[in-house]
């Protein structure tokens, strides 16, 4: 399961829409904000590994 890299494309209330970096043509992934780091914003890059999201540079 991963690791996969995502970019936060849109924040919509309690949810964020993520785009997978290596598959940009795929649909956006809808993820509850409670599962993501608190300090994210649109354009933030995330790594998903072992059922956990972390911010990357």
* Own/partner long-range contacts of 16-20 (Cβ < 8 Å, ≥24 apart): 16/40, 18/46
Nearest C-alpha neighbor of 46 from the set 15, 13, 1, 9? 9
57: pLDDT strictly greater than 90: no
Q: How confident is the model at residue 1 (pLDDT cuts 50, 70, 90)?
A: low
| Residue in the block written with tokens 């409670």 | 34
* CATH number of the domain bearing residue 11: 2.40.50
Residue 2: the pLDDT is 77
How many folded domains does the chain comprise? 1
Range of the structural domain that residue 10 is part of: 4-56
pTM for the model stands at: 0.92
Residues 7-54: tens digit of each pLDDT: 999 999 999 999 999 999 999 999 999 999 999 999 999 999 999 999
Q: What count of other Cβ atoms lies within 10 Å of the Cβ of residue 49?
A: 12
């Amino acid at each position: 399961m991963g690791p996969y890299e995502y970019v936060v494309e849109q924040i919509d209330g309690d949810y964020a829409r993520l785009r997978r970096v290596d598959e940009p043509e795929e649909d956006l992934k809808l993820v509850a904000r409670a599962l993501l780091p608190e300090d994210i914003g649109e354009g933030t890059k995330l790594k998903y590994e072992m059922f956990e999201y972390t911010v990357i540079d």
